[in-house]
Structures are given as C-alpha cells and as structure tokens.
Structure 1
C-alpha cells in the first residue's frame, strides 16, 4: 500500500514540475524590447528595465535575428553594446 502512495506522489511531483516549466517559458515578443530602443538607436545607456527585458527575451534573440524586419535593429554594434552592458552575451545563431 505504501508503495502505491509513493508512486502516486512521484507522478504528482513530475506533473507539477512539467507545469512549472510551461509557466516559466518565455513568450517571444519583440515589443518586449521597446524599452531598449533609445539605447540601441543612440548612445544612451540601457535602463534597468531594458536589461531585464533583454535577459528575459534572450531565448528569442536568434529567432529575432532570422527575421529580416528585426535583424536590421538587433544585429547592430549598438545592440551588441547594449547586450554586453546588460551582461547578456550576444547569441551565436
């Protein structure tokens, strides 16, 4: 009887762990980087909000780089500088 409780408990833990992964997944949205526009287009230092958004959107950066409409903004020396300043290495896609 105790073995069946242990199996049920283990399954419950595994299911909850999978749900946590789904909840914490990043939704890729280039609009989330709007707080970085001034830092990317000028020599203005990135804000704390910009840096947090870059870190949050890091898994999406390669996807953005493959988009021709976004690539011209993201694949620039200033964007690389902003990422570096924020402590987020520029992705190698």
Structure 2
C-alpha cells in the first residue's frame, strides 16, 4: 500500500515537472522557470510541510512569475490549490493578486 502511494506521488511529481518544462519560455528561463520551485513539489502535491529550501525559492521567485503560473492552465491548479495556499502561508509569502 505504501509503495503504491509512493509510486503515485512520484508519477505526479514527474507530470508536474513535465508540464513545467513544456511551458518554459526560452527568453525567460533564467528568471521565470517553474522548475526552480521543484523543492516545493512535496508540499503542493503530497501535503508535506514546506522545507526551508522550498520557502527560500518561493521568496526569491518574482511575483510576476507567480501571476503567470496562476493563469497557466497546466499550473494554476497547483498554485491555487489548498496545499499551494498553505505553502504560501507557511513560507510567509503573499500570493499576488493578478
């Protein structure tokens, strides 16, 4: 049972990374890449507490990028999810209103 849950979680993370990779824009890769938030995947997908690395990445990520993610059909479900909102609250990062 635990192995099946771990497999599902891994598949979700892989799908998230794949979705993120598909939306990467070459000119904005250095400043607005959702893959920079990969340390936050367990908190968003698996309901784990965000790590210090995750919070550091979220705090360093430009608000304009978060707005893009909120509007992107592939990513908005993660940003706007209950776990996403918990992550921003736990990291003391205000989610921008876009």
Is the shorter-chain TM-score for this pair beyond 0.5, marking a shared fold?
yes
Please report the TM-score for the alignment, with normalisation by the length of structure 2. 0.65
Equivalent residue for 2:85, pick from 73, 80, 84 = 80
Which protein is richer in helix relative to its size?
1
Aligned residues: 68
Is the deviation greater in 79-88 or in 50-59?
50-59
Q: List structure 1 runs of 4+ shifted beyond 6 angstroms.
A: none
Mark the runs of 5 or more structure 2 residues left unpaired by the alignment. Answer: 1-29
Is 1:64 the counterpart of 2:69 in the alignment? yes
Deviations 1:37-87 (A, max 9, x none): 000112211001100111111421001111111111111011010011001
Mark the runs of 5 or more structure 1 residues left unpaired by the alignment. Answer: 1-25
Determine the C-alpha separation between the residues in 1 that align with 2:91 and 2:62: 11
Match in the other structure for 1:43: 47
Larger radius of gyration: 1
Determine the C-alpha separation between the residues in 1 that align with 2:40 and 2:91: 11
Superposition RMSD in Å: 1.3
